[in-house]
Amino acid sequence: MISEVRLPQWLDDYIYDKLKAKYCCANSNMTVIDWDKKDVLNYLGTYFPRSYAESYCIFSEFFKNNKEQYNNKTELSIFDFGCGTGGEIIGLLTVLSEYCPKLKTINISALDGNQHALRLFENIIQVYQARDKSIKIKLKIIPLRIDDFYDLDVLNSILTERHDIFMSFKAICEFVTKERFEQQNAYAHIVKNYLPRLKYDGIMVLADVTTYNNVSQEWLPQMMDAGLAQVECKTISKNEGYNQIFIINHKKRQRDKSKIAWRIITQ
């Protein structure tokens, strides 16, 4: 599997020169939902490139191995649970432009509770769309903070359509830390809610940090697997071993590394 990429030059220039993103790999507090504008700019310059690389590498391998399934599709629908500044979405869009030659429309529903992150993401999507007019992007921003089961019910009432791809990159760990779903396994709860909302051939991609969570007192990859074991689903692809290392190169840092655990599942 590809594990090292370079941030596209236009994107590198835009986030660092235009948006003034900062590389600041010192903040261990990953509860991004509460961050202010300065924190989010630090996140954009540090973790956005990593999310791009993780998504690009994971989806490149998947689409390379499933060309026939997507080769003739003209439209795709994507839902990102906890999109942040959207690095994983741009990574996926880059892959789709390479592997889906007939694709004309991409519907994106992007959920996050941080307004600063969503504004930056909208700016980046606008620049992406201006660069590639061959595919029309229909973006639905969902500015919703998920604090409890009631908020998920509100989201369920908003999301009436089915999706080809559901993804969540390094977001569910926040729900674990803040015990949003009380004592329930957060991964199991998300999968139970949204796996049935996929189209018949849709996929769900879960990726998260591999740290030990002091609240749940579990390693998050183990918690992810325990959650998936509670749901009727099929894991069709995953990282080998405990985690996978991805390397991203950009103007602020060469060979910047991230470690995540990821799973691709279907119904």
pTM equals 0.94
Q: What percent of the chain has pLDDT over 70?
A: 93
pLDDT beneath 50: ranges in the chain: 27-31
pLDDT at residue 109 in the model: 96
pLDDT at residue 229 in the model: 97
pLDDT tens digit sequence for 202-241: 999 999 999 998 878 889 999 999 999 999 999 999 999 9
Q: What percent of the chain has pLDDT over 90?
A: 75
pLDDT at residue 164 in the model: 98
pLDDT at residue 26 in the model: 60
pLDDT at residue 112 in the model: 94
pLDDT at residue 29 in the model: 46
The CATH code that applies to domain 4-266 is 3.40.50.150
DSSP state letters, the chain: ---EEE--HHHHHIIIIIS-----TT-----GGG--HHHHHHHHHHTHHHHHHHHHHHHHHHHHHTHHHHTT-SEEEEEEET-TT-HHHHHHHHHHHHH-TT--EEEEEEEES-HHHHHHHHHHHHHHHHH--SSEEEEEEEE----SHHHHHHHHHH--S-EEEEEEES-HHHHHHTTTTTTS-HHHHHHHHHGGGEEEEEEEEEEEE-PEETTTTEEHHHHHHHHHHTSS-EEEEE-SSS-EEEEEEETTEEEEEEEEEEEEEE-
